[in-house]
Amino acid sequence: MSEEGINKKAIALITMLVVIMLALNLLDNAEHWQFDRAAILTQSQWWRLFTGHWVHANTEHTLLNLMSFLGALFLLPVLRQPARLMALIVFSSLGISIALLCFNPNMEYYLGFSGVFYALLAGGSIVAWRQATACIIAAFLIVKITIEQTIGPMTYSTTMTGGNVATAAHLYGVVAGITVSATMMAVIKTKQHPIAD
């Protein structure tokens, strides 16, 4: 079966991720899981580097990110490969959170999956760059990130999330997604064609 197909492992993983996102929204205690600068740096609550991407401000925010996640899987079949999907989610989550800690000192709190969603789009587009869909998504990302970094977030994004949109997380997500996918591709290529001494 090709890596672009969807198998039982992929279905199980995607289902688990969807359930986690919905369950954390139902718990209604996002403050215990969100990215919290002070809690991370002074109380060593390192899990927030990951869990902050899975909790949301409200139900609309959760559903927006959930539909975005499923949309990415539909548009970029390469993301349905379980190892690639997990690597992108885990390492991009960590990369985005570390970047927020280092480069956005005034950002005390952050929550939501959108940064990781951007990482999935960017990472998937790098892998599938020969496909028209991937090229369109890459162009969309360039335009969207440019607008967000120069003008600010889109009005609909602010309305749907019920608060400020962390556009920096979107930018870091794109960078993280590209980095993770490029690294994985380089490792795979090296294993397939080892360099002789």
Question: Would 70 be classed as within a structural domain?
Answer: yes
Q: Give the confidence band of 175 by pLDDT, cuts at 50, 70, 90.
A: very high
Instruction: Check residue 2 and give its pLDDT.
Output: 45
Instruction: Check residue 26 and give its pLDDT.
Output: 86
Range of the domain at 123: 8-192
Question: Would 197 be classed as within a structural domain?
Answer: no
Instruction: Check residue 163 and give its pLDDT.
Output: 66
Question: Would 2 be classed as within a structural domain?
Answer: no
Mean pLDDT of 153-166: 69
Candidate from 9-13, 31-35, 155-159 with smallest mean pLDDT: 155-159
CATH code at 172? 1.20.1540.10
Residue with the bigger pLDDT between 174 and 161: it is 174
CA 189-142-72 angle, to 5 degrees, is: 65
Over residues 101-159, the pLDDT tens digits come to 999 999 999 999 999 999 999 999 999 999 999 999 999 999 999 999 999 887 656 55
Specify the number of domains making up the chain: 1
pTM of the model: 0.91
Residue 1 clears pLDDT 50, i.e. is over it = no
Question: Would 1 be classed as within a structural domain?
Answer: no
Over residues 75-93, the pLDDT tens digits come to 999 999 999 999 999 999 9
